[in-house]
Structure 1
Amino acid sequence: MGIQMKALLLGAAMAAVACTTIIALILSLANHQTLDRPYSTQYGIVFDAGSTHTALFLYQWLGNKENNTGIVSQKQSCDVDGDGISSYVQNPLAAGESLKKCLDVAKAAIPEGEWKTTPVYLGATAGMRLLSLQNKSFADSILAEVTKTIQSYQFDFRGARILSGMEEGAYGWITINYLLESFIKHTFEGNWIHPKAGKILGALDLGGSSTQISFTPKDTVNKTDSAFNLQLYGYKYELYTHSYLCFGKDQALRKLQVYLHKTAGSSPVISHPCYHVGYNLSLTLNDPLKLSK
């Protein structure tokens, strides 16, 4: 029982740190062409654009794969200065500029001859999902600016987009089980094997603007909006995953603020999909989550 609890706690801790990073890379880089250098070291860059901050992760892997899925390791990481990209509604250009420091860090760590074949992805999560619900043009402008910045570098840009809640949940689940070697394990003999007694864990990810729950159920997932099918290292997995938008840590605190304002007799003016109809709604550009009397 103690061992199981430690494994669950370890999984929860890693979900908070690594959500949507190594996962997105594993899924996307499985189809990355190895060109004519099947056993050379290759690189990939992922921007994890969360609701409160953005981080760059640089990965490396050998061109050969295990059952069409790459064996990936993290080479470097870099925290982008400032808040999440969804906070740049008044200055989308600055959202793109904020990425340059970390792009320069990655550029310095990758051999120059590998720049053009290094794929770069940016995946935004619940902060941008909420902004898109509020004002899609603002979200599109921010994504356009971060796209321009990344494309100005000599990397193989593969897109900047807002991940769905299902994707975010599934990627967190893959992160946990990848790091715990539930999918594949490296033996002392130098071989990669599928653990016979490997136990697949579920994942509960508490973010800033949303919470995700993901696990492999005993029965077939009947709800199409919660079923996520994957194939990793030659094995198929049917995943139940659901994202609860507005139930992240930061949104919970802001809901409490709204409640306290209301009980104090004030009339909060907000513009946000997370709050109930009945409040006086008006857009506050400098902070879409800010309360005002």
Structure 2
Amino acid sequence: MKEKNPWHTPVTIIITVIGVIAIVALVTVAVLQNRPLTQKYKYGIVLDAGSSHTALYIYQWPAEKDNNTGRVEQTHSCKVKGPGISSYASEPWKAGESLKDCIEDAKRRVPEKRHDETPLYLGATAGMRLLSIEDSSASNKVFQAVEQSLQKSPFSFQGARLLSGQEEGAFGWVTVNYLDDRLKQGLETTGALDLGGASTQISFVSNNYDGSESPKNSVTFRLYGNDYNLYTNSFLCYGKDQALRLTLAQQTQSGPRSILDPCFHPGYNETVTYSDLYDSPCVSDRKPQGAPVTFTHLGQGNSSQCQDVVKSIFNFTHCRYTQCSFNGVFQPLLQGPFGAFSAYYFVMNFLNLTDTSIPLEVVRKRLSIYCETPWDQIKQRHPDVKLKYLAEYCFSGTYILTLLTKGYNFTSESYPNIKFIKKIKGSDAGWTLGYMLNLTNMIPAEAPDSPLLPHSGYVSIVTVITVLLFVLLIFSLRPFWPRCSKQPQII
């Protein structure tokens, strides 16, 4: 009689089927449990109220990651029409009105359900710093008008405040290094060079600087478990617009009716009002007595002489520290790469001089050729550029090279360490992102905990364990296996 195969019994078949289903279910659950969910985002808005204009920036980050591994990224920017808010000192209400179009733009860009939880900040920089020095009452009224306007927005307005020069420099450094993932990975940091209309900032980490020689220039951060002792300094009145005023003031000390300016193109001719030129705290105390109402500003187009004029606004003779940049300000030895942004980028990009692999002497030669080009030819080459900005590029380019080499002590060897940047991975370089990260505690002081295993590793291990369980199940069914035995032969 034929022996019955235990593998064919209903109980064995049911157990096997259930085991297979259980394994498939286990793998499916593991995969579904660990699959990426539909991404949700949080948002933040920062208004950069600079000396020449105001800009609004919108940032977003993964909602479930806040200050762990979620990168904060810029999604949109809006340039406010008109000048900076400091220009509305006589009509403060216009400062608030000027922001409305960009706020409306932000309302469309940020999902409506996120409006009331989206923080909104306004930080004012050198333009308002100058106004607060000149007329603190007018400065307060401008801030009041701006706050009243922003409080009416649907966002969570967190206040408008005046940033110190040190904060502006430090937050710019944070932005550059955060976007480049240098903080999270503990890499060598990048120095930050920021040039605005009214001030300029330099910030970098130096191994030779512990903050003791000039404590006011020291800022300490603990970010992602690493300590950073940052040197930073801001030079008020040394943004490119105010620096131009300083050079013109140097050339008009005797109250002349005309000047031949080497920093402007040959053939340039403009009438300038003395009261307008000296209408700034940076030069107001230098206005010559008995000067005429106006003077004629003529261009000469001589780059080397322009450099001499620019150098005259720096003081290199006084230094009570071991080493200085200019105006008696301490500065340690330069170290590492540097990112130069804001006006640094826009001026050098216009002049086609952002490639720092070009030797410094070649850069100077190209700038010299540009400055010597007649004003009529310059206007023909760039018909779409506003004449005010177009006229100043020779000066601005010369000022930048002089500031970097004579002011900050970059040499022919260290100049290639500078990279002129506008954006880093889609986000504008500047202080605004660092400012928001600081106020929202988006950068952890300690390194964030990471999961024990990545998603794919977890799934792989679950699968291996499941296979092992399946094998064990098979072995647990050994009593049902057919046994081999010799059957007696029938003759």
Point out where structure 1 has 5 or more consecutive residues left out of the alignment. 1-38, 185-193, 282-290
1:102 deviates by 0.5
- 1:245 alignment partner, one of 236, 245, 260: 236
Point out the structure with the larger helix share. 2
**How far did 1:279 drift?**
3.1
Question: In 2 relative to 1, CA 292–78 (structure 1 residues): closer, same or farther, beyond 3 Å?
Answer: farther
**What are the within-5 Å matches in structure 2 for residues 50-65 of structure 1?**
50-65=50-65
* 1:173-229, Cα deviation, whole Å (9 max, x unpaired): 112212222113xxxxxxxxx25xx22111121211111111112131122211112
> 1:152–1:66: structure 2 CA closer, same or farther, 3 Å change rule?
closer
Cα contact 2:49–2:123 (8 A) shared by 1: yes
Distance change (3 Å), C-alpha of 1:166 and 1:292: farther
Contact 2:80 / 2:101 at 8 angstroms: preserved in 1? Answer: yes
Following TM superposition, by how much is the alpha carbon of 1:268 offset from its aligned partner in structure 2, in angstroms? 4.3
The answer to whether residue 184 in structure 2 is matched with residue 221 in structure 1 is: no
The 3-state SS of whatever aligns with 2:55 is: strand
For residue 143 of structure 1, give the secondary structure of its aligned residue in structure 2.
Answer: helix
**Aligned partners of 2:249 and 2:286 also within 8 Å:** no
Q: Report the Cα distance in structure 2 between the residues aligned to 1:276 and 1:48, rounded to whole angstroms.
A: 26
Do structure 1's residue 205 and structure 2's residue 194 form an aligned pair? yes
Residue 11 of structure 2 corresponds to: none
Q: Secondary structure at the match of 1:274?
A: coil
How many Å apart are 1:264 and its aligned residue? 4.6
Q: Which residue of 2 aligns with 1:10?
A: none
| 8 Å contact kept, 1:268–1:280 | no
AA aligned to 2:160 is A
Q: 1:43 to 1:137 in 2, by over 3 A?
A: same
Larger mean CA deviation between 211-220 and 114-123 belongs to 211-220
Conservation of the 8 A alpha-carbon contact between 1:43 and 1:58: yes
Aligned to 1:21: none
Q: What is the match of residue 254 of structure 1?
A: 245
How much has 1:69 moved relative to structure 2? 8.1
Cα distance in 2 between the residues matched to 1:113 and 1:234? 35
The structure 2 residue matched to 1:273, chosen from 281, 287, 292, is 281
Q: Using the TM superposition, give the Cα deviation of residue 66 of structure 1 relative to its aligned residue in structure 2, in angstroms.
A: 7.4
After superposition, residues 1-293 of structure 1 pair within 5 angstroms as 40-65=40-65, 71-184=71-184, 194-195=185-186, 198-218=187-207, 219-222=209-212, 223-265=214-256, 268-269=274-275, 270-275=278-283, 277-279=285-287
Question: Residue deviations 1:114-134, cap 9 Å, x none?
Answer: 111000000011010001000
Measured in 1, the distance between the counterparts of 2:58 and 2:132 equals 28
**Larger strand share, 1 or 2:** 1
What percent of counterpart residues are identical?
Answer: 47
Change (3 A) 1:66 1:40: closer
RMSD over aligned Cα atoms = 2.4
Contact 2:93 2:142 in 1 (8 A): yes
User: Which amino acid in 2 is paired with 1:210?
Assistant: S
- For the residue of structure 2 that corresponds to 1:81, the secondary structure is coil
Alignment size in residue pairs: 235
